[in-house]
Amino acid sequence: MSPPIAVFLTEEGTVHALDDTCTHQDASLAAGWVEDCRVECPLHESTFSLTTGEVDQPPAKRGVRAHQVTVRDGEVLVELSTAAPKLPPGVEVA
Amino acid sequence: MSLAEEGHLLIIGAGLAGYHTARQVRAQGHAGPITILGAEAHPAYDRPALSKAFLCGTTDLCDLYLDDPSDPLDARWVRSDAVTALSTEPLGVQTASGTFYLGDAVVIATGAEARRLGGHAIRSVEDAAALRAAPLAGARVAVIGGGFLALETAATCTTRGAGSVTVIAGEDLPGLRRLGRPVARALHSLHEQHGVRFTGAARALGVTRAPGDPQADQVVTLSDGRGIPADVVISAIGASPATEWLSRSALALDPGTQAVLADDTGFTGIPGVWTAGDCALWSAQRTGLRPVGHWQETVDQAQALAAALLGGSPSPMQEPYLWSDQHHVTIQAAGMLALADEVQVLAGSIEGNDLLVSYLRGGTEIGILGMNRLREVVRWRKSRRIRPAVLAA
Ligand SMILES: Cc1cc2nc3c(=O)[nH]c(=O)nc-3n(C[C@H](O)[C@H](O)[C@H](O)COP(=O)(O)OP(=O)(O)OC[C@H]3O[C@@H](n4cnc5c(N)ncnc54)[C@H](O)[C@@H]3O)c2cc1C
Ligand code: FES
């Protein structure tokens, strides 16, 4: 089972896919703010790299998984990461 | 007078303000030693979950630690030793264990203590653990207070299977004075949908037990003469700055709240002494421009204080921001809500738990509040963002 995945389109036109759930609490990164190839969580201050999923500052301590994306003929193909998802405490994959 | 590169920074209070001050000072390049003195026995932890996930039982204390064990802060933490006095000559502090710590700069970050009317309160992890261990299933719960902490706690008690939850908010609708009628009606509706009851404008006077019978219910007595019987009583009536230990010091305390007074960089006016977080009252908070007692305010203050302490370029404060979680609805507010003279509903409905409200002063928008409106609130905050470069120009 995989947790929800968010797909991002940047102003520069690149497409990225990350696990949608912030690692701090149960917030959807798809509702966050995209800038400089990072997404800022809509609740607190942590931002995640759209390419690697790595986190820059608290309150989140761990990054999210980044998934491989290919755009072919306008279709977005996402290849799921094989790493274990890093969900916030108390949240499980439904 | 800024802190020298090799200077010793002494931080009093191992909470959110203490941790973020140390983190910012390091991030902004300070090389000298940092010591953080805390009264609690635990590593520094984050409080917001205490009324939410921790109280529900879905997270534990180790999930709430502020410092990251895999990338720890370069600082010395001293636990279980409360600071009892500040000395300005020489600059340093005295602790309960009898140790005197010298510092080249002192940051006072002792936070606040819950005001208690009776029953449970929630400020520390011990408070929250006591309530978590209380038999809430089927119980009659009375929550005293009408702020977000009271409402979150009421919501969590319903999740925990309380038989009934009664909130004594002291106003006709919860949040009416601070947030305006549409939001207060929406909060009232949200909680009623989950079976929470409100007692209206009457205020709680005290908590008593039936005399001579220790097993008897507690009763919350109200200003209109009513008594609310309850098995579990929770007070969430605000917090007072933890500054008792400073009452005989040279520092200026606010006559009303006893908070440590400071300018808008956290400087107290006494050389080398600074303050941030819930124990502090910066100038903009004293004049009502900025709120007191919120997470983001504390984090932003720590950043601004660190910049000023190290003599770097000033770090601007962003629009105030706060959030709350109640019955799985995320409530976020940004801007100077307290200054508003008009409230406009932009979208959503009272019953739909999706209200988006604009706060205006003299016809100009100065704030926003959303219920499950994460995108709209983040966009508003970003559109009002102050960048350091703009300030320097
Ligand atoms: C239950 C709860 C839920 C919250 N939820 C939210 C929320 O959803 N959204 C939001 O915006 N804000 C929320 N807040 C507010 C936010 O957590 C506070 O603004 C923040 O904790 C303030 O940080 P602080 O470091 O100033 O104080 P604290 O976190 O209280 O830390 C102060 C520390 O100093 C220590 N100390 C006190 N006196 C001494 C002494 N003499 N010597 C040594 N150490 C001492 C204390 O033991 C404590 O560890 C919540 C607060 C609580 C209590
Ligand atoms: S929920 Fe994402 S940073 Fe807190």
pLDDT tens for each residue of chain B, 393 residues long? 689 999 999 999 999 999 999 999 999 999 999 999 999 999 999 999 999 999 999 999 999 999 999 999 999 999 999 999 999 999 999 999 999 999 999 999 999 999 999 999 999 999 999 999 999 999 999 999 999 999 999 999 999 999 999 999 999 999 999 999 999 999 999 999 999 999 999 999 999 986 666 666 899 999 999 999 999 999 999 999 999 999 999 999 999 999 999 999 999 999 999 999 999 999 999 999 999 999 999 999 999 999 999 998 888 899 999 999 999 999 999 999 999 999 999 999 999 999 999 999 999 999 999 999 999 999 999 999 998 765 444
Query: Which structural domain, as residue segments, surrounds residue A38?
Result: 5-79
Cα B336–chain centre separation: 17
Total of domains in chain A: 1
Q: Can you give the residue range of the structural domain that contains B175?
A: 120-235
User: Per the domain annotation, does A47 fall within a domain?
Assistant: yes
Q: Are B327 and B156 in contact (CB under 8 A)?
A: no
Give the binding-site residues of ligand 1, using a 6 Å CB cut-off.
B 12-18, 37-40, 47-48, 50-51, 82-83, 109-112, 122-123, 149, 242, 245, 277-279, 293-296, 298, 322-324
> Min CA distance, B378 vs chain A (Å)?
6
Residue numbers in B near A54 (CB within 8 A):
none
In contact, A47 and A8? CB cutoff 8 Å:
no
On whether the pTM is more than 0.90, the answer is yes
Report DSSP state, residue B312: -
Residue B14 lies in a domain: yes
Amino acid, res. B52: K
Q: Is B383 exposed, middle or buried (0-12, 13-18, 19+ CB in 10 A)?
A: exposed
The domain boundary residue, chosen from B186, B216, B235: B235
Q: What is the CATH number of the domain that holds A32?
A: 2.102.10.10
Residue B389 pLDDT: 60
Based on the fold, state whether residues B260 and B366 are members of the same structural domain.
no
* C-alpha to C-alpha distances, B100 to B10, B44, B75, B90, B94, nearest whole angstrom: 11, 22, 18, 10, 5
Q: Are both B63 and B160 inside the same structural domain?
A: no
Would residue A14 count as lying in a domain? yes
Q: What is the number of domains present in chain B? A: 3
Residue B392 lies in a domain: no
Residue B296 contacts residue B334 (beta carbons within 8 Å): no
Report the CATH number at residue B372.
3.30.390.30
**Residue B215 pLDDT:** 64
Whether B219 and B248 share a structural domain: no
Q: What is the pLDDT of residue B1?
A: 65
A84, part of any domain: no
A90 within domain boundaries: no
Give me the helix-helix angle, B148-159 and B181-193, nearest 10°: 20
Give phi and psi for B213, each to the nearest 5.
-135, 95
User: Are B155 and B225 part of one and the same domain?
Assistant: yes
| Residues of B in Cβ contact (< 8 Å) with A36 | none
Residue that terminates a domain, selected from B218, B235, B252: B235
The verdict on the CB of residue A85 being under 6 Å from ligand 2 is no
pLDDT of B392 reads 46
**Given an 8 Å threshold on Cβ–Cβ distance, is A89 in contact with B59?**
yes
* Whole-complex ipTM: 0.95
Upper half-sphere CA count for residue B179 (Cβ side, 13 Å): 29
- Domain shared by B110 and B167, yes or no: no
| DSSP 8-class letter at B257 | T
Residues B231 and B243 in one domain: no
Of the candidates B282, B309, B336, which is a domain's last residue? Answer: B309
Decide: B33 and B76 in contact? Cβ < 8 Å: yes
Neighbours of B245 (CB within 10 A): 20
Residue B1 lies in a domain: no
Does B265 share its domain with B343? no
Q: Does B72 contact chain A (CB < 8 Å)?
A: no
Domain for residue A92, yes or no? no
User: Is residue A89 one of the residues assigned to a domain?
Assistant: no
Interface test with A, best of B21, B324, B374 (most A CBs within 10 A): B374
Q: Quick check: is A88 in a domain? A: no
* Domain shared by B275 and B297, yes or no: yes
Q: Cα–Cα distance between B142 and A56 in angstroms, integer?
A: 41
Q: What is the pLDDT of residue B212?
A: 65
Write the pLDDT tens digit of every residue in A5-54. Answer: 999 999 999 999 999 999 999 999 999 999 999 999 999 989 999 999 99
Task: Give the mean model confidence (pLDDT) for residues A60-88.
Answer: 96
| Distance separating alpha carbons of residues B312 and B295, to the nearest angstrom | 24
| Residues A46, A25: Cα–Cα separation, whole Å | 11
Whether B243 and B340 map to the same domain: the answer is: no
Task: Give the number of the atom of ligand 2 that is nearest the alpha carbon of residue A42.
Answer: 2
B95 and B144 fall within a common domain:
no
pLDDT of residue A26: 94
The answer, yes or no, to whether any atom of ligand 2 lies below 6 A from the CB of A3, is no
